[in-house]
Copies of this chain bind each other. A is one copy, B any other.
Amino acid sequence: MTERRGRGRPREKDSDTSAAISRAALQRFAAQGFEATSLREIADDAGVDVALISYRFGGKQGLWKDIVSQAGAALREALERALGDSEATGAQKRLEHSAHAFLTYLLGRPEVPRLLLRDITIDSDRSKWLLETLSLPLHQHFIALAQAAADERDKAPAHLEFRVANFIYSAASTVARRERLGKLVSGVEDNAQFAAALEEVLVKGALMP
């Protein structure tokens, strides 16, 4: 994308190089994993020298944290917006809206569920950080909502926290495996139909029994 040839300082601080690096890094990390991705690959994708990454982000780990923070912020924002939009309605509706917002977010950024999913699987400080930054707020958000919905209907579904965790990672794994398994498994092709199936099976079936 960037076509600069000579070296030196091209623009002030917030040039688009940082954004280009972030974009490339998210793609690579999501597709190959943290360890399997070299900074040189990312630098090549972004059309930039390797050293620039360490200079800007303070190293590979710093780049990782930056990306995860960004994704986490975007997700939290989407959830809060959904909550604001359905403020006056009942608890069940609010839960449904949040679930819809979550699924929409995942479908729009299919790299995120990959990160999310891979890191319940790996033992490392990096994974722990992602867990606290991304997963935990998500759990708390949905547990509260599901509890409220259950109260509203005077039902006490067994294993509520279990159901919530299951909903989150089911959604993530479904979106993640979509590209991977492809048409191999299911006939659900386009995004809208896909989201509808997810909500029917996961939200109404397993989350709100």
Contacts and interface: CB of A to CB of B under 8 A. Distances in A.
The size class of the interface chain A forms with chain B is 35 or more
Interface in A160-209: 161-166, 169-170, 172-174, 176-177, 180-181, 184-188, 197, 200-202, 205-206, 209
Nearest to A188: B162
Contacts of A159: 186, 188, 197, 200-201
B188 A165 contact: no
Interface in A121-142: 121-124, 127, 131, 135-136, 139
Contacts of A122: 31-33, 36, 118
Interface of A: 31-36, 114, 117-118, 120-124, 127, 131, 135-136, 139, 158-159, 161-166, 169-170, 172-174, 176-177, 180-181, 184-188, 197, 200-202, 205-206, 209
Given A162-B186, A166-B201, A166-B202, 12 more contacts: A31-B123, A35-B36, A118-B122, A120-B177, A121-B180, A159-B188, A161-B185, A161-B187, A162-B197, A165-B186, A166-B170, A169-B173
